Chain A
Amino acid sequence: MVGIIGPRPDLAERLNDSRFLLEQGAALATGLSAAIAALALTVPASPRPLRLLPVAPAAFWLGTLGWGCLHDARAGWMQIAPDPACLFYIALIGVLPAVLLVLMLRQGAPLAPRLTIGLAGLAAAALANVALRFFHMQDAALMVLVWQVGSVALLTGLFGLAGRLFLPWRVLTRARR
């Protein structure tokens, strides 16, 4: 996607900005840890604390954005405008990691389908968000928090609700094959 749309013009400058790097790193860590937690959930008797793996990076991600909000507010940049394109892009970019993850998860045991698929949604959406920020010119922390993290949360919730749809225990006839 980044290749197709082309990177944002100020990417080199952004890559030197510690706040941008910190936010991207936290989002990446959230995505990866959510993917690991989702995969671990499909292995019976895997250590239970693994499912809490993304909590710390997600908290750190929200923390960096919250801190960014305060910083922006002091600089007088605090404003919010509708930016629904974020949701569209995150959903579009997230399709690929989401499909891959769901295919992998279906090889495992659906012990907690809602939580597993919810975590997969979080992983896909967080990774999509990392990609999004490489071409989408939106750095105001509040905007990122509301529109990008909001989209990630929305997609995570929707995925979680559809958990049993994506990860059912197979029925008798198919299991017998």
Chain B
Amino acid sequence: MNHSHHLNNSDQKTDALRETQFLARTQRVVAKLKPSPRTLNQILEHTFVTTVPEARLTGEDIAQGTASSPLSSLFAMLSISKPLAFAVFGAVLVLGAAVVMFPDRSSRAPIPVASSDPETSTFREMPTGVTSDGADSADTPGTDAASPTRPVDSNAASATIALITDDLDSFDNDDGYDDSLLSEDEVDSLLITLDSDVDENSL
């Protein structure tokens, strides 16, 4: 018992001696370890820039203890002002509504109609908006046939021109202009003009 107690005391003394020696020897080296001076402001700047994004966005708000809204944070993150963000949002909304209310008719599938030439094919495609009898089914007649982006069928164009001519024949407005006064040449030149318009547009 006394022997083990003596050994423990001896170990403790040795440990204490080692500790003192090592501490004394390393103190001088450790004292050389000095961090480069960083001011508190640098630390706080680092804190707000890297740790708290809201504080970077609205530092004054945080300082006053008022929390900013998530939407404001989003605008600030995107670096855009509130009025501009609302204007863009409004424009997108109006465009979306316009697309829903006036769908693009070009997206409709073409209407298969019987071919005039039974040897070539059973069906052929008519231009969009023109029905099988050659009449334009759209509210604004002729716009589709004249569209430069769509292929123009010569038969359909002729049918349209024929309809316009019929309209001209029956046209009698209040300004005293009588279409019956048009000579055959004048009507022909008018048809040529319309025809050439159609051709130009088809290019």
> Are A and B genuine complex partners?
no
Chain B residues within 8 Å of A, Cβ to Cβ:
none
Chain A residues within 8 Å of B, Cβ to Cβ:
none
